Amino acid sequence: MSDEEIRQKTIQMRNGDMRMSRDREYWTDEEKEILGREYKNGTSINEIALMLNRSESAVHQKIEQQGLCVRNPFSMRKRSDSKKERKCLCETCTCDRALCPRCKVYETILEDM
């Protein structure tokens, strides 16, 4: 497969225009061997995905499961603190609307309508 074909198929795969035929199916031992061999040879994840008719995320997940690559725990997104005071304009706003400057502005806009 040429570089241009790989590029086009990768775009189709990522846009959802192309359904991978092996999605949501169990991995065979042969597929696991191909995955390990190709990953160790330096083949990119999107090329392996196209080769095995799997999504890139499925290939990446299987690589982690097989212990070929370990996710960096420090690269994960920081979770927001759920105890922080919410300052939104929706009906579920937890702040006092009388004291919230954002809500006052919102109410003035509604009155002008």
- 21-31 pLDDT, tens digit each: 888 899 999 99
Residue 107, domain extent: 85-113
Question: pTM for the complete prediction?
Answer: 0.60
Which pLDDT does position 86 carry in this prediction? 47
Summarize the confidence of residues 45-70 as an average pLDDT. 90
Average pLDDT, the chain: 78
Q: How many domains does the chain have?
A: 2
The SS3 call for residue 67 is: coil
Beta strands in 9-92 (DSSP E): none
pLDDT-derived band at 87, boundaries 50, 70, 90: very low
Q: Domain check: are 8 and 40 in the same one?
A: yes
Percent of the chain with pLDDT over 90: 33
Are residues 66 and 32 located together in one domain of the fold? yes
